[in-house]
A = this chain, B = another copy of it.
Amino acid sequence: MTVVFNERNKCSSCPIRHRAVCARCDDDELALLEQIKVYRSFEAGQPIHWRGDELTHFSSLVSGIAALTKTMEDGRTQMVGLLLPSDFVGRPGRDTVDFDVTATSDVTLCCFKRQPFEEIVEATPHVAQRMMEMALDELDAARDWMVLLGRKTAREKIATFLEMLVRRSHVENMSIPAIDLPLTREEIANFLGLTLETVSRQMSALKKEGVVSFPDRRHFEVLDLAALHDATGDDADGGMIV
């Protein structure tokens, strides 16, 4: 399971770094987690996990971006999840996943060996509960995503995607900083069920309209947040949870 990024997942004070696992753990439990913890690094583009392979670790993303993708026989691929720092990968009770996990930028993971981790999950209700909470968050995100894929126009898809990035980057100051655009055009296309050309065209259109600007390929700034939101097709408070 992967999990949405939001404030409540963060836990900067903890060695394991993620409230997902540790917020309510006592010292003994934390010590246990420390024992089975191991860091792993991946370069941009490197596969983290192949579809169908045994999942030997649960892990949480410390830095970088990773993508969950499914690919059809003929090569069409669809992203089915996007991992940002503090997101979690793992499926209690399952030992495989049927999608690929790939690092789209340099990634470091904090991994927990599967078996001991599952024992902790089973033994401590609050951890099990947290895992359930994360699974449900993920499910909500997947459902919003389904609306996007099934019913939104290319323009709406792009606007929704950019707005999601704005929300996830939760900018405190209102100084319109450049926001990280962590994927290539092709990856964005696979995320949104489009082609890279359409992604590029729609971004150009939004730029021409003065809604956003792109200082470079890997960043963007929102110039008119209201206009961006209008373009998403979402109602006032709704939108993707991802």
| A interface residues, Cβ below 8 angstroms from B | 1, 68, 70, 72-74, 76-78, 80-81, 91-94, 98-99, 122, 125, 128-129, 131-133, 135-136, 138-140, 142-147, 149-151, 192-193, 233-235, 238
**A146: contacting residue among B73, B125, B136, B149, CB under 8 A:** B149
CA distance A123 to B40 in the complex (A): 36
Knowing A98-B140, A128-B128, A140-B98 touch, does A72 contact B135 (C-beta < 8 A)? no
Q: How far is the CB of A21 from chain B (nearest CB, A)?
A: 15
Chain B residues, Cβ within 8 Å of A150: 78, 149, 192-193
Chain B residues, Cβ within 8 Å of A70: 143-144, 146-147
Chain B residues, Cβ within 8 Å of A233: 72-74
Chain B residues, Cβ within 8 Å of A151: 72, 76-78, 193
CA distance A70 to B140 in the complex (A): 11
Q: How far is the CB of A119 from chain B (nearest CB, A)?
A: 12
Jot down 25 A-B pairs with beta carbons below 8 A, ordered by A.
Answer: A70-B143, A70-B147, A72-B235, A73-B233, A73-B235, A78-B150, A80-B146, A81-B143, A92-B132, A93-B129, A93-B133, A93-B136, A98-B143, A98-B238, A99-B143, A125-B128, A132-B132, A135-B136, A138-B139, A139-B139, A142-B142, A145-B146, A146-B146, A149-B149, A149-B150
